[in-house]
Amino acid sequence: MLMEIGSGEKEYIKGELLYTIFKNDAEHFSIVKIKIHDTNTSYREKEIVAKGYFSSLQEGNIYYFYGEFENHPRYGTQYHVSSYQTFIPDTTDGLIAYLSSDLFYGIGKKTAKKIVSHLGETAVSKILNDENALSSVPGLKKENAEELAKRLREHQGFEHVVVNLSKYNIGLKMAQKIYQVYKEDAIDILQEDPYRYVFDIEGFGFQTADEIAKRNGLSLTHPNRIGAGCIFVLQKSVQEGHVFLPIKDCIQQVLQLLINPEQSLDESIITKQLEELNKAKTVILQNGNVYLPSLYYAEDGFASHVKRLLEKELEFDTTMAELMKIIGDIEEDEVLSYGKEQFNAINQALHSKLMILTGGPGTGKTTVIKGIIKAYGAIHSLSIDPMDYENKSDFPFVLTAPTGRAAKRLNESTGLPAVTIHRLLGWNGNDGFEKNEHEQLSGKVLIVDEFSMVDIWLANHLFKAIPDDMQVLLVGDEDQLPSVGPGQVLTDLLESAIISTVSLHEVYRQKEGSKIIQLAHAIKNDSFQTDLLHNDKDFSFINCREHQVVDVITKVFKRAVDKGIDVRDIQVLAPMYRNQAGITMINKALQQLVNPKTSKKREVKVNDSIFRIGDKVIQLVNQPEDGVFNGDIGEVVAIFEEDENVDHVEQMVVLFDEKEVVYVRKDYTNLMHAYCVSIHKSQGSEFPIVILPIVSAYHRMLRKNLIYTAITRGKQSLIICGETNALLRGIQTLDTNKRYTSLKEHLSERLESSRKDDDLNSTVTIEAEDISPYDFM
């Protein structure tokens, strides 16, 4: 149904599009000049500049624009369009002119007249709403009728969808996503089964679908509602890190979600619906658990690749004596003597197809990685200098980590090239990964650092791309926070004990007198005592309460900056965004301290924040097309106004290490200030100076692994400010949020089946010795 043009209390500007000032086809973003015909707003000028996301606009056409006025500091009043619609002439003459215009091939004036006289002045909406409307027009050829309806639909389709979705408070951006999936069917689907949106459209919430369904009078026990409820509950559980939900838990959560005083629901209805979804392969029910298929297959796929890699035997014919000599030479070269655990780790890694190396900070993980690479090079007579390889892809050592900063750290500590896992696999956004089981990685040894941060999806994609004969070393610290995404791959692998593992316990950095390392290990080993909080050369503890946190941090920060320390080297980490000691407040205060407003510095306002040239910012999502990833930290280096660049849109330029990334306004929300970042976001990074507030106001979040992760981010200095009790309680609180994962089961099933195959094969061989083929003839 078409919304009545220009009707309702919604503000509009009706006008002719005079010309396009700027157009970005890829973004569907345009800035246009409008000659105003009519408006129900108080705007009294004859013309206005309008901007927004449009599918197609034609100069000379008349449109209704719905949106809001905006005051641009340089260009004055502009209209920010949130939805729009072509004005279809409502007079007979206007309509005839419209239908016989160039827009509609094959329809001349005569035919247009016939259509209007037959269908009346609402001809266009009749054609759009009823496929057969034109069949009653005498003398109109079937092909022409079909062509006209098709063109009209194409032309009106997007606007029609946008305008109708806006009635349900669905904005232009989400409307574009929806239109891409459903095209002109979007509104029909929304009206018949809004819950389908929850399945098909990323980011479309259950509550929105539910409200629309209620408005459209859909029954509260409708299977689609219950099905969407199940999917929504599963999607939510994935955000909490689960790979599946036990069916009972899932049912309880769905009941909670769908609860309604008007109509009761019982478990059997939900169970039945889960079975239906299972039949349709929308979920997978197995062993009393319910999975979203992508997660079930990720776990199972990962397990199958682990099995594949373990099956391929490794040829290693270096004798222990030879190896001792090689390692001895490396020790001489490195001017150190490997500890027993470290030697064992190098030896085992060289012998293993797949190995896990774990250990807390300063136990020598990087030292061991370097030792493994050098020893491998010596054994196989391979140079470990990338410069000796003409072709980059021939370099035998592939070093990778889940985040940009972790990869950079790995590169700096080993002196070898290291990239993010996404880059290694050639992630290209929607299209997926260039590297996969068909196009695998090249190289001989793969080393993945910070493996505790890798979720089951990424682990599966990575393992798919590992060729059978590659040796793999997974390095991580199991005591850190689990991955942000679903699963706990490192923990599950360690618990399954199917991959050889070496844990390093002896702390080497402590020998250099590091209090940070001492603290970290005391927390890890549950031997923390408050006297460890005494100030030291690399550690201070400042007593303060929640309301003093922002002030204390600002003072500490100021003192450090006054001492000449680079702002980029000081990182505040906190567990939560809200409350008076939260990340948001800390960022505001620190921005004011280190990068205040001045008349010379350009800035842009984004919701409640102001981004200013010189601001430290963090990327919040993966943006592979620009080579920036969730957690990367950069600095705003330029802000351009619309008329200052060839694209004619406002732009903000952020420098990440040596790479500049240009953001347009719609992407500004991918950034946040980074004077203070969440501990979760800091995983995989290290900073010279870490300031860590810990107060009881964070109690919901304070856990041993969170505090351990935060403390181990500090390289040279750590300043904790807050309450001793909150710290004590935090490190005594274990993360009881058990993640539901079944990787261990998948691994044992896979390995069990391969054992059975082996048994079967061996049985056949034995029997075959006694039986001749003729026995079967």
Ligand X SMILES: Nc1ncnc2c1ncn2[C@@H]1O[C@H](COP(=O)(O)OP(=O)(O)OP(=O)(O)O)[C@@H](O)[C@H]1O
Q: Quote the least distance from Cβ 364 to ligand X, whole Å.
A: 3
User: At 159, is the secondary structure helix, strand, or coil?
Assistant: helix
If the CB atoms of residues 15 and 362 are measured against ligand X, the closer one turns out to be 362
Q: Quote the least distance from Cβ 673 to ligand X, whole Å.
A: 27
Q: Determine which residue in the list 64, 104, 302, 338 makes contact with ligand X, applying CB under 6 A.
A: 338
β-pairing verdict for 616-619 and 633-640: antiparallel
Tokens (6 digits) for 663:
């953001």
Q: For residue 141, count CB atoms less than 10 angstroms from its CB and return exposed for 0-12, middle for 13-18, buried for 19 or more.
A: exposed
d(CA 377, CA 395): 11
d(CA 426, CA 447): 17
* DSSP, res 536: B
User: At 6, is the secondary structure helix, strand, or coil?
Assistant: coil
Three-class HEC string of 283-316: CEEECCEEECHHHHHHHHHHHHHHHHHHHCCCCC
The amino acid occupying position 762 is: S
Q: Determine which residue in the list 351, 423, 444, 509 makes contact with ligand X, applying CB under 6 A.
A: 509
Q: How many CA atoms lie within 13 A of 735 on its CB side?
A: 20
Q: Quote the least distance from Cβ 533 to ligand X, whole Å.
A: 21
Closest CA to 668 of 595, 605, 615: 605
CB 212 within 8 A of CB 168: yes
Q: Quote the least distance from Cβ 495 to ligand X, whole Å.
A: 22
| Binding of ligand X by 503 (CB under 6 A) | no
> Is 367 annotated as a binding-site member?
no
Per CB under 6 A, contacts with ligand X among 352-391 are 359, 361-367
d(CA 632, CA 266): 47
Q: How many CB atoms lie within 10 A of CB 286?
A: 15
> Is 366 annotated as a binding-site member?
yes
If the CB atoms of residues 54 and 338 are measured against ligand X, the closer one turns out to be 338
User: At 268, is the secondary structure helix, strand, or coil?
Assistant: helix
Q: Quote the least distance from Cβ 367 to ligand X, whole Å.
A: 4
> Is 362 annotated as a binding-site member?
yes
Q: Quote the least distance from Cβ 223 to ligand X, whole Å.
A: 52
Q: Quote the least distance from Cβ 368 to ligand X, whole Å.
A: 7
Q: For residue 503, count CB atoms less than 10 angstroms from its CB and return exposed for 0-12, middle for 13-18, buried for 19 or more.
A: middle
If the CB atoms of residues 337 and 383 are measured against ligand X, the closer one turns out to be 337
What is the arrangement of strands in the sheet containing 500-504, beginning at the earlier edge strand? 418-420, 397-401, 445-448, 471-476, 354-359, 500-504
If the CB atoms of residues 713 and 739 are measured against ligand X, the closer one turns out to be 713
Q: Quote the least distance from Cβ 446 to ligand X, whole Å.
A: 18
The amino acid occupying position 573 is: L
If the CB atoms of residues 24 and 366 are measured against ligand X, the closer one turns out to be 366
Q: Determine which residue in the list 156, 342, 491, 595 makes contact with ligand X, applying CB under 6 A.
A: 342
Q: Which residues contact 250 (CB under 8 A, 6 or more apart)?
A: 230, 233, 234, 237, 274, 290
Q: Quote the least distance from Cβ 399 to ligand X, whole Å.
A: 13
Q: Determine which residue in the list 508, 580, 635, 667 makes contact with ligand X, applying CB under 6 A.
A: 508
| Torsional class of 303: left (φ above 0), alpha (ψ -120 to 50), beta (otherwise) | alpha
Q: Quote the least distance from Cβ 413 to ligand X, whole Å.
A: 6
If the CB atoms of residues 337 and 598 are measured against ligand X, the closer one turns out to be 337
In angstroms and rounded to an integer, the radius of gyration of the C-alpha atoms of the chain is: 32
If the CB atoms of residues 450 and 723 are measured against ligand X, the closer one turns out to be 450
Q: How far is CA 717 from CA 395, 517, 542, in A?
A: 36, 11, 14
Which positions from 461 to 500 touch ligand X by CB under 6 A, shown as an x/- string?
A: ----------------------------------------
Closest CA to 131 of 160, 152, 111: 152
CB 145 within 8 A of CB 134: yes
Q: Which residues contact 309 (CB under 8 A, 6 or more apart)?
A: 353, 354, 463, 466, 468, 470, 472
Q: Quote the least distance from Cβ 735 to ligand X, whole Å.
A: 20
If the CB atoms of residues 362 and 634 are measured against ligand X, the closer one turns out to be 362
Per CB under 6 A, contacts with ligand X among 32-91 are none
Q: Quote the least distance from Cβ 632 to ligand X, whole Å.
A: 19
Q: Determine which residue in the list 3, 21, 336, 593 makes contact with ligand X, applying CB under 6 A.
A: 336
Tokens (6 digits) for 23:
């157009």
Per CB under 6 A, contacts with ligand X among 707-726 are none
Tokens (6 digits) for 738:
């058990």
Which positions from 430 to 459 touch ligand X by CB under 6 A, shown as an x/- string?
A: ------------------------------
User: At 67, is the secondary structure helix, strand, or coil?
Assistant: strand
Q: Quote the least distance from Cβ 333 to ligand X, whole Å.
A: 13
If the CB atoms of residues 237 and 363 are measured against ligand X, the closer one turns out to be 363
> Is 20 annotated as a binding-site member?
no
Q: How far is CA 718 from CA 583, 600, 650, 699, 731, in A?
A: 18, 35, 39, 21, 17
Per CB under 6 A, contacts with ligand X among 283-322 are none
Dihedral of alpha carbons 544, 545, 547, 553, sign:
positive
Considering only the stretches 50-58, 332-340, 347-355, 768-776, report the one whose residues sit in contact with ligand X under the rule CB under 6 A: 332-340
Q: Quote the least distance from Cβ 402 to ligand X, whole Å.
A: 15
Q: How many residues bind ligand X (CB under 6 A)?
A: 15
CB 553 within 8 A of CB 572: yes
The per-residue b/e assignment along 746-764, b for 16 or more CB within 10 angstroms, e otherwise, is: bbeebbeeeeeeeeeeeee
Per CB under 6 A, contacts with ligand X among 86-145 are none
> Is 339 annotated as a binding-site member?
no
Q: How many CB atoms lie within 10 A of CB 75?
A: 15
Q: Quote the least distance from Cβ 298 to ligand X, whole Å.
A: 28
| Binding of ligand X by 339 (CB under 6 A) | yes
The annotated binding site is made up of 362-366
Residues that bind ligand X (CB under 6 A): 336-339, 342, 359, 361-367, 508-509
Tell me the binding residues for ATP: 362-366
